A and B are shown apart, each in its own frame.
Chain A
Amino acid sequence: LAKTTQPISMDSYEGQEVNITCSHNNIATNDYITWYQQFPSQGPRFIIQGYKTKVTNEVASLFIPADRKSSTLSLPRVSLSDTAVYYCLVGDLFSGGYNKLIFGAGTRLAVHP
Protein backbone atom coordinates (compact mmCIF):
# COMPACT_ATOMS: atom_id res chain seq x y z
CA LEU A 1 0.00 0.00 0.00
CA ALA A 2 1.17 3.51 -0.80
CA LYS A 3 1.70 4.90 2.69
CA THR A 4 1.96 8.67 2.73
CA THR A 5 4.05 10.92 4.94
CA GLN A 6 3.53 14.66 5.41
CA PRO A 7 4.93 17.26 7.81
CA ILE A 8 2.75 17.56 10.88
CA SER A 9 2.61 21.35 10.78
CA MET A 10 3.82 24.41 8.93
CA ASP A 11 3.72 28.12 9.57
CA SER A 12 3.61 30.91 7.03
CA TYR A 13 2.69 34.58 6.65
CA GLU A 14 0.11 36.25 4.50
CA GLY A 15 1.24 36.79 0.91
CA GLN A 16 3.87 34.04 0.95
CA GLU A 17 3.94 30.94 -1.22
CA VAL A 18 3.56 27.71 0.73
CA ASN A 19 4.79 24.32 -0.44
CA ILE A 20 3.66 21.15 1.33
CA THR A 21 5.35 17.91 0.33
CA CYS A 22 3.91 14.43 0.64
CA SER A 23 6.07 11.31 0.35
CA HIS A 24 4.54 8.14 -1.13
CA ASN A 25 7.39 5.75 -1.89
CA ASN A 26 5.19 2.76 -2.74
CA ILE A 27 2.87 4.51 -5.16
CA ALA A 28 1.40 2.12 -7.72
CA THR A 29 1.22 2.63 -11.46
CA ASN A 30 -2.49 3.41 -11.50
CA ASP A 31 -2.54 5.62 -8.42
CA TYR A 32 -3.54 9.26 -8.60
CA ILE A 33 -2.44 11.90 -6.10
CA THR A 34 -5.12 14.11 -4.62
CA TRP A 35 -5.00 16.90 -2.08
CA TYR A 36 -7.79 17.97 0.25
CA GLN A 37 -8.28 20.94 2.57
CA GLN A 38 -10.15 20.70 5.83
CA PHE A 39 -11.39 23.48 8.10
CA PRO A 40 -12.48 22.83 11.70
CA SER A 41 -15.92 21.24 12.01
CA GLN A 42 -16.14 20.59 8.27
CA GLY A 43 -15.47 17.66 5.99
CA PRO A 44 -12.43 17.75 3.69
CA ARG A 45 -12.75 19.62 0.42
CA PHE A 46 -11.06 18.62 -2.84
CA ILE A 47 -8.29 20.98 -3.96
CA ILE A 48 -6.37 19.39 -6.81
CA GLN A 49 -5.49 16.07 -8.36
CA GLY A 50 -2.75 14.81 -10.66
CA TYR A 51 -0.96 11.80 -12.04
CA LYS A 52 2.40 13.17 -13.20
CA THR A 53 4.31 16.40 -13.94
CA LYS A 54 2.41 19.57 -13.06
CA VAL A 55 -1.23 20.44 -12.62
CA THR A 56 -2.55 23.92 -11.93
CA ASN A 57 -6.01 25.21 -11.14
CA GLU A 58 -7.39 28.45 -9.76
CA VAL A 59 -6.34 27.76 -6.19
CA ALA A 60 -3.18 25.64 -6.26
CA SER A 61 -0.50 23.83 -8.22
CA LEU A 62 0.60 20.24 -7.83
CA PHE A 63 4.12 19.19 -8.74
CA ILE A 64 4.90 15.51 -9.25
CA PRO A 65 8.45 14.39 -10.15
CA ALA A 66 9.11 11.72 -12.73
CA ASP A 67 9.50 8.92 -10.16
CA ARG A 68 6.17 9.91 -8.53
CA LYS A 69 7.48 9.02 -5.08
CA SER A 70 6.52 12.42 -3.75
CA SER A 71 4.30 15.35 -4.60
CA THR A 72 4.24 19.01 -3.62
CA LEU A 73 1.15 21.13 -3.16
CA SER A 74 1.90 24.78 -3.82
CA LEU A 75 -0.39 27.53 -2.53
CA PRO A 76 0.46 30.92 -3.99
CA ARG A 77 0.17 34.03 -1.84
CA VAL A 78 -1.64 32.50 1.12
CA SER A 79 -4.12 34.43 3.22
CA LEU A 80 -5.43 33.91 6.73
CA SER A 81 -8.34 31.92 5.30
CA ASP A 82 -5.90 29.27 4.06
CA THR A 83 -5.26 28.21 7.65
CA ALA A 84 -6.44 24.60 7.59
CA VAL A 85 -5.30 20.99 7.56
CA TYR A 86 -4.13 19.68 4.20
CA TYR A 87 -4.32 15.99 3.35
CA CYS A 88 -2.53 14.06 0.66
CA LEU A 89 -4.40 11.05 -0.74
CA VAL A 90 -2.91 8.38 -2.96
CA GLY A 91 -4.95 5.71 -4.64
CA ASP A 92 -7.08 4.66 -7.53
CA LEU A 93 -10.81 4.19 -7.66
CA PHE A 94 -10.94 2.73 -11.13
CA SER A 95 -8.87 -0.40 -10.73
CA GLY A 96 -10.90 -1.77 -7.86
CA GLY A 97 -8.47 -0.26 -5.42
CA TYR A 98 -11.09 1.40 -3.24
CA ASN A 99 -9.68 -0.21 -0.14
CA LYS A 100 -6.27 1.13 -1.02
CA LEU A 101 -7.15 4.79 -0.70
CA ILE A 102 -4.63 6.08 1.81
CA PHE A 103 -4.94 9.49 3.41
CA GLY A 104 -1.92 11.01 5.06
CA ALA A 105 -2.16 12.23 8.65
CA GLY A 106 -2.44 15.77 7.38
CA THR A 107 -0.38 18.96 7.60
CA ARG A 108 -1.70 21.72 9.81
CA LEU A 109 -0.94 25.03 8.08
CA ALA A 110 -1.10 28.19 10.16
CA VAL A 111 -1.01 31.49 8.26
CA HIS A 112 -0.06 34.52 10.35
CA PRO A 113 -0.76 38.21 9.67
Chain B
Amino acid sequence: DVKVTQSSRYLVKRTGEKVFLECVQDMDHENMFWYRQDPGLGLRLIYFSYDVKMKEKGDIPEGYSVSREKKERFSLILESASTNQTSMYLCASSSQSPNEQFFGPGTRLTVL
Protein backbone atom coordinates (compact mmCIF):
# COMPACT_ATOMS: atom_id res chain seq x y z
CA ASP B 1 0.00 0.00 0.00
CA VAL B 2 1.37 3.38 -1.00
CA LYS B 3 2.36 5.66 1.82
CA VAL B 4 3.26 9.29 2.35
CA THR B 5 4.13 10.21 5.91
CA GLN B 6 4.65 13.60 7.50
CA SER B 7 6.81 14.14 10.56
CA SER B 8 4.14 15.74 12.76
CA ARG B 9 0.34 15.96 12.79
CA TYR B 10 0.32 19.06 14.98
CA LEU B 11 3.01 21.67 15.56
CA VAL B 12 3.06 24.88 17.56
CA LYS B 13 5.86 27.38 17.01
CA ARG B 14 6.61 30.97 17.90
CA THR B 15 7.03 33.88 15.53
CA GLY B 16 10.56 34.05 14.18
CA GLU B 17 11.40 30.39 14.77
CA LYS B 18 12.84 28.23 12.01
CA VAL B 19 10.46 25.40 11.25
CA PHE B 20 11.13 22.12 9.44
CA LEU B 21 8.34 19.99 8.04
CA GLU B 22 9.41 16.63 6.72
CA CYS B 23 7.74 14.30 4.27
CA VAL B 24 8.72 10.77 3.30
CA GLN B 25 7.25 8.58 0.56
CA ASP B 26 7.89 4.88 0.02
CA MET B 27 6.71 4.60 -3.59
CA ASP B 28 9.93 5.61 -5.38
CA HIS B 29 8.07 8.56 -6.91
CA GLU B 30 9.95 11.17 -8.88
CA ASN B 31 7.68 14.10 -8.02
CA MET B 32 6.96 15.55 -4.60
CA PHE B 33 4.87 18.55 -3.61
CA TRP B 34 4.14 20.84 -0.68
CA TYR B 35 0.75 22.52 -0.39
CA ARG B 36 -0.93 24.63 2.20
CA GLN B 37 -4.64 24.43 2.78
CA ASP B 38 -6.69 27.27 4.20
CA PRO B 39 -10.48 27.54 4.62
CA GLY B 40 -12.15 28.87 1.50
CA LEU B 41 -8.92 28.84 -0.48
CA GLY B 42 -8.50 25.13 -1.18
CA LEU B 43 -5.02 23.79 -1.75
CA ARG B 44 -2.27 26.09 -2.95
CA LEU B 45 1.04 24.79 -4.23
CA ILE B 46 4.10 26.10 -2.40
CA TYR B 47 6.96 24.16 -4.01
CA PHE B 48 7.46 20.96 -5.94
CA SER B 49 10.39 18.79 -6.84
CA TYR B 50 10.72 16.53 -9.88
CA ASP B 51 14.05 14.98 -8.95
CA VAL B 52 16.66 14.90 -6.21
CA LYS B 53 18.10 18.36 -5.60
CA MET B 54 15.66 19.86 -8.13
CA LYS B 55 12.92 22.22 -7.06
CA GLU B 56 10.49 24.66 -8.60
CA LYS B 57 8.33 27.38 -7.12
CA GLY B 58 4.60 26.94 -7.01
CA ASP B 59 1.93 29.58 -6.53
CA ILE B 60 2.95 30.86 -3.10
CA PRO B 61 6.68 30.24 -2.41
CA GLU B 62 7.33 33.44 -0.47
CA GLY B 63 8.54 32.77 3.05
CA TYR B 64 9.30 29.11 2.33
CA SER B 65 12.19 27.04 1.06
CA VAL B 66 12.56 23.32 0.37
CA SER B 67 15.18 20.63 0.35
CA ARG B 68 15.32 17.30 -1.44
CA GLU B 69 18.57 15.48 -0.76
CA LYS B 70 17.13 11.99 -1.20
CA LYS B 71 14.44 10.77 -3.54
CA GLU B 72 12.09 9.67 -0.78
CA ARG B 73 12.32 12.78 1.38
CA PHE B 74 11.11 16.34 0.77
CA SER B 75 11.42 18.99 3.47
CA LEU B 76 9.62 22.31 3.76
CA ILE B 77 11.43 25.03 5.66
CA LEU B 78 9.99 28.19 7.17
CA GLU B 79 13.08 30.32 7.72
CA SER B 80 11.35 32.70 10.13
CA ALA B 81 7.81 31.65 10.96
CA SER B 82 5.09 34.26 10.94
CA THR B 83 1.49 34.13 12.15
CA ASN B 84 0.16 34.21 8.59
CA GLN B 85 1.86 30.87 8.02
CA THR B 86 -0.52 29.20 10.42
CA SER B 87 -2.15 26.60 8.21
CA MET B 88 -2.52 22.95 7.28
CA TYR B 89 0.47 21.74 5.29
CA LEU B 90 0.07 18.79 2.95
CA CYS B 91 2.78 16.82 1.25
CA ALA B 92 2.14 14.72 -1.85
CA SER B 93 4.05 12.56 -4.30
CA SER B 94 3.38 11.26 -7.78
CA SER B 95 4.96 9.18 -10.48
CA GLN B 96 4.43 9.83 -14.17
CA SER B 97 0.65 9.48 -14.11
CA PRO B 98 -0.66 12.95 -14.82
CA ASN B 99 -1.99 14.59 -11.70
CA GLU B 100 -2.52 11.43 -9.63
CA GLN B 101 -0.93 12.53 -6.42
CA PHE B 102 -0.77 10.63 -3.15
CA PHE B 103 -1.14 12.83 -0.11
CA GLY B 104 0.11 12.56 3.42
CA PRO B 105 -2.18 13.17 6.42
CA GLY B 106 -1.12 16.79 6.82
CA THR B 107 0.60 18.86 9.50
CA ARG B 108 -1.43 21.52 11.25
CA LEU B 109 1.02 24.29 12.08
CA THR B 110 0.14 27.08 14.49
CA VAL B 111 2.48 30.06 14.75
CA LEU B 112 1.95 32.14 17.87
The chain A residues found within 8 Å of chain B, CB to CB, are 32, 34, 41-46, 49, 87, 89, 91-94, 98-99, 101, 103-106
Would you list which residues of chain B between 2 and 61 have a CB under 8 Å from chain A? 4, 31, 33, 35, 40-45, 48, 50, 56-59
Q: Is B92 an interface residue (CB 8 A)?
A: yes
Q: Is B100 an interface residue (CB 8 A)?
A: yes
Total contacting residues, chain B, CB less than 8 A = 30
Report the bound CA distance from A41 to B105 in whole Å.
Answer: 7
A99:B99 contact, CB within 8 angstroms: no
The chain B residues found within 8 Å of chain A, CB to CB, are 4, 31, 33, 35, 40-45, 48, 50, 56-59, 90, 92, 94, 96-106
The residue in chain B whose Cβ has the minimal distance to the Cβ of A35 is B99
Chain B residues whose CB sits within 8 angstroms of the CB of A93 once the complex forms: 31, 94, 96, 98-99
Report the bound CA distance from A101 to B58 in whole Å.
Answer: 9
B106:A34 contact, CB within 8 angstroms: no
Chain A residues whose CB sits within 8 angstroms of the CB of B48 once the complex forms: 98-99
With A43-B90, A94-B96 already in contact, the answer to whether A99 and B106 are too (CB < 8 A) is: no
A98:B99 contact, CB within 8 angstroms: no
Chain A residues whose CB sits within 8 angstroms of the CB of B50 once the complex forms: 98
Chain A residues whose CB sits within 8 angstroms of the CB of B101 once the complex forms: 44, 46
Report the bound CA distance from A104 to B105 in whole Å.
Answer: 19
Q: List 7 A-B contacts (CB under 8 A).
A: A41-B106, A43-B92, A46-B102, A87-B43, A93-B98, A98-B45, A98-B56
Report the bound CA distance from A42 to B101 in whole Å.
Answer: 14
Report the bound CA distance from A105 to B40 in whole Å.
Answer: 6
CB distance from A66 to the nearest CB of B (A): 20
With A41-B105, A44-B103, A98-B56 already in contact, the answer to whether A106 and B98 are too (CB < 8 A) is: no
Having A89-B99, A92-B99, A99-B58, one finds 18 other A-B pairs with CB under 8 Å, namely A32-B99, A34-B100, A43-B104, A43-B106, A44-B90, A45-B103, A49-B97, A49-B98, A49-B100, A93-B96, A94-B96, A98-B31, A98-B45, A98-B56, A98-B58, A104-B42, A105-B40, A105-B42
